[in-house]
Chain A
Amino acid sequence: MNAAGAAIGTARRERAKAAALLLPAALWLLVFFALPAFVLLDSSFDRYADAKVSDDFTFANYARVFSESVYLKVFLRSVAVAALVTAASLLLAYPVAHFIARRAGKNRDLLFLALIVPFWTSIVIRTYAWKILLGTSGAVNYFLLQSGLAEAPVKMLFSPSAVVVGLIHVLLPFMIIPLYASLEKIDPGTVEAAMDLGAGRVQTFLRITFPLSLPGVGVGCLLVFILALGSFLTPQLLGGPGSLMISNVIQTEYMETGNWPLGGALAVVFLAVSLVFVAGCNKLFKAEE
């Protein structure tokens, strides 16, 4: 065999090795991710009548999703809540991430590590905690009464605002961490150079720091928006009947009403909305580069 033939043989062997290493994880994704997605799509065209699912092909479920105002309302509410949570998280997270990355000095590692703890703490527990805090005999009401800001305990739970506060609490680390990562990468020299050249603090921030941190802003907003849009637990535990979101409605169709085809159609529409959003963000990131 000549040298070229040997090289081709090695390349082929290398490719076979890579394929063998990838195969188990790829199969897992195929069987438990791609295949079930097709099962879901298929089921959303099934007919549901008299509490029975039959196999004949119908668009009836999609017709309901798009014609009944309940579903439109839930979708709009979910998007509005997610947008509000994303905007509030960005406003709260930016100064914090900026402080940790550029002004915390030797406390930087400690402050960053402290962020990892809530990030990994069970969401069920963190959401439940707000039930204790915001309850009529909870700490927030205690301080409102003590300080004289309220005459009687304020009802805060089971409202859209409780859901928004709970979601900001749960998702804030997903905003701070990517912001920190991009702010930390900015060379302090660049900022100093702008100052030395006579740019004021505001101008330096708007023309140097903020544009350089945009990748972090993008990733943080994408994560928080998608996670808020799909949230189930927070509306379930802190919201009232008027603050349910898409995931709650899908769960009800599957677990309580038992109308799986309708639940399937809702899930497919929801998936499409999320994917369009992610694709849009991706395009924006690419344009940014």
Chain B
Amino acid sequence: MTAQPSAFRHLPQKALTALVYVFLFLPVLMVAAMSFNSSRYSVFPVPGWTAKWYRAAAADELIVESLKISAVLSLCAAVIATVIGSAAAVALVRYRFRFRDAIRAAFVSPLIIPEMILAVTLLMLSASLDLRGGFWTVVAGHVLICLPFVITVMSARLHGFDRSLEEAAMDLGAGEWRTFWHVTFPLSLPGVVGGALLAFTVSFDNFIITFMVAGSDIVTVPVKIYSMIRTEFSPKLHALSTFVVFVTLGILVLYRLVLRGAARW
């Protein structure tokens, strides 16, 4: 059987695939289009083009403040999740002990618990400890949902590299610490950085936990966008959203570059 490669082969499947990609991308492209819309109202087709909503958003102190809060909060969550998650991944990959699979499953389980439940349990914890929400309770919740990503990326990296390099270092007389710092750590670094980038994105995009736990004085970007949708509509919302999509895109490109760079070792 020799099939003729032709543009018309599997046409229905090709058409459906194209439609699904349009379905996945068009909505966000529409937000981007609206961010350059000269009208205050979200009408299609757009009557004219302008960049004034970007200037207005950049001049809006509350929007700038939300970007700053999100950056700091996600950085804290990503750093904590990366440090404790990478350590846990090393233990899970390199050592054998009882209940190892159960412990691994426990670390991933926050992902299959409905997020609203995680959010209310954290809300109750902070209330019963009289913390009244606050920055660190939100960070604690974000770390919980970042850990599965850090542990998965880091475990994959640890499985991926050649352990004989470490054995060679030991054979050549390097002690355990020297081997760790000069061989193990540099080799697992792409996993660490990749995990940190994903953790930052997970935290930066989180809405439910922040919304439920943070209280009114900690307004992250997603919470700000939500309140702009619900109560204080302004086309600045489209400018901020488009900016956030591009930041996420930038982080993903960085993630690809880090892990692709790693593949060469």
Say if the beta carbon of A221 comes within 8 Å of chain B: no
Most chain B beta carbons < 10 A, residue from A36, A125, A139: A125
Which B residue sits closest to A128, measured CB to CB?
Answer: B229
Which listed residue (B91, B115, B118, B140) contacts A22, Cβ 8 A?
B91
Interface secondary structure of B, over-half rule: helix
Task: Please report which residues of chain A, range 257-277, place their CB below 8 angstroms from some CB of chain B when the two chains form the complex.
Answer: 260, 263-264, 267, 270-271, 274
Are B141's CB and A32's CB within 8 A?
Answer: yes
Cα distance A80–B26 when bound, in Å?
27
Any A CB within 8 A of the CB of B124: yes
Chain B binder among A60-68, A69-77, A182-190, A227-235: A227-235
Query: B226 at the A/B interface (Cβ < 8 Å)?
Result: yes
**CB <8 Å contact, A254 and B212:** yes
Within 8 A of A (CB), among B7-52: 10, 13-14, 16-17, 20-21, 23-28, 30-31, 34, 41-45
Q: Check if A21 sits within 8 Å of B144, measured CB to CB.
A: no
Residues of B near A19 (CB, < 8 A) are 91, 97
Q: Quick check: A32 and B26 within 8 Å, CB to CB?
A: no
- Determine which of A18, A115, A125, A233 lies in contact with B28 in the assembled complex, contact meaning CB atoms within 8 Å: A125
Number of contacts between A and B (CB, 8 Å)?
A: 224
10 contacts between A and B (CB under 8 A): A19-B97, A31-B140, A33-B109, A99-B16, A121-B205, A130-B27, A169-B23, A232-B116, A246-B114, A250-B116
Interface residues of A (CB under 8 A from B): 14-15, 17-19, 21-22, 24-26, 28-29, 31-33, 35-37, 39-40, 43, 92-93, 95-96, 98-100, 103, 111, 113-118, 120-126, 128-133, 135, 137-139, 141-142, 169, 172-173, 195, 222, 226, 229-230, 232-233, 237, 246-247, 250-251, 254-255, 260, 263-264, 267, 270-271, 274, 278
Query: Which 7 A-B residue pairings sit nearest by Cβ, starting from the closest?
Result: A230-B114, A129-B27, A36-B121, A18-B95, A21-B91, A247-B116, A25-B88
